[in-house]
Amino acid sequence: MDRVRAWLRTGRLAGERGWLLLLVAIVAVVDVLAAGLPTHPLPIAAQTVPIVLAGLLLELRALRWLLAAVAVAVAAALVVLGYTQTRLGSVIVVAVVALVVARTAAMRERLGVVGVRGDTVLADLRDRLAASARVPALPAGWHADVATELAGGLMFGGDVVLTHEADGVLQILVVDVSGSGAAAATRALQLSGAFGGLVGAVSPERLLPAANDYLLRQGWDDGFATAAHLTVDTGTGAYALRSAGHPPPARFRAADGTWNLATAGGPALGLIAGAEFAPELGRLGYGDALLAYTDGLVESADEEIEHGIARLLAAASTLVVDRFAGGSRRLLAAAGGTKGDDRAAVLVWRD
């Protein structure tokens, strides 16, 4: 008891003791209502309410004390009410909910995201990533549009878009991390921070080589990334397209109304030391546009990637009527590709 009192006074979780005491009080009230009412007692399964609240509000150590209190309360209620099949069923429900909540709390604590505060941290991280993809203010006549869609409606995924503008030069980096699920999302979070520091800190021609060096230093056995890097001078319209194992970007020429795939290429990031990424250079005239995308828009198990790219460019051709406004989001909706894969599209155009 001395250890409990000391923990409640000064322990690492002392800030939670109020919530813990309140939830223990709720457990006691539920127990009294379940065992003390002669007719229509509160179901024992009502103890799941404080358990769920504890999973949201308490760290794992405090949660264990709460679950111990629930166990004592349930046992006391059974002693008073007697054992019946219905009541034993309620006990099983409480035990299953307690197990799920405890397991979830243990996983979240291992990740350092505990309770509702952990959700706040993840939401803040998501907002910061979204801000890194937000297109900065561009000079009159220039526009850029970015849209991403994460598989399964998750908060994080394997596709990353980073933007930067300084001294009249717009840079957009589209990255697709290998793999899927939690592994790809974790790597994408790491790369978004590292690559975000490189964009604008190194010259455009050094960006992909520096990113490649960074990935090689990580020593991931099966981890690599593809990337497309767009650089546009909004003063002159000059642009450079660079690719690292990525589906080729495309350019729309207003003069003849056609889309042409870029020929720039290079190996995926994280595979070959000292890799070079030769650019394709050009100039955007009035009405021209550049398009970059990830393979989730063009790859599928039942067709070649060339067919997927052709379908994407056909959908992009319909955007010309509206001068590409909101085009990236419309491409995500219209294109095929792999269902359940992360998808991203970027459009840059000149009025």
pLDDT tens per residue across span 92-121? 999 999 999 998 888 777 766 665 555 565
Which residue matches tokens 């009080």? 25
pLDDT in tens, 219-253: 877 778 999 999 999 999 999 999 999 999 999 99
Helices (H), the chain: 2-10, 17-36, 48-57, 60-81, 85-111, 115-132, 181-198, 204-218, 305-317, 327-334
Helix 2-10 × helix 17-36 angle, to 10°: 130
**39 exposed, middle or buried (CB, 10 Å; 0-12, 13-18, 19+)?**
exposed
Q: Decide which of 203 and 33 is more confident.
A: 203
Q: Residue 219's CB: how many other CB atoms inside 10 A?
A: 8
Which domains, and CATH codes, for the chain?
Answer: 2-112 (no CATH), 121-350 (3.60.40.10)
Cβ neighbours, 10 Å, residue 317: 13
Phi, psi of 135, rounded to the nearest 5 degrees: -75, 130
Q: Match 């729309």 to its residue by tokens.
A: 252
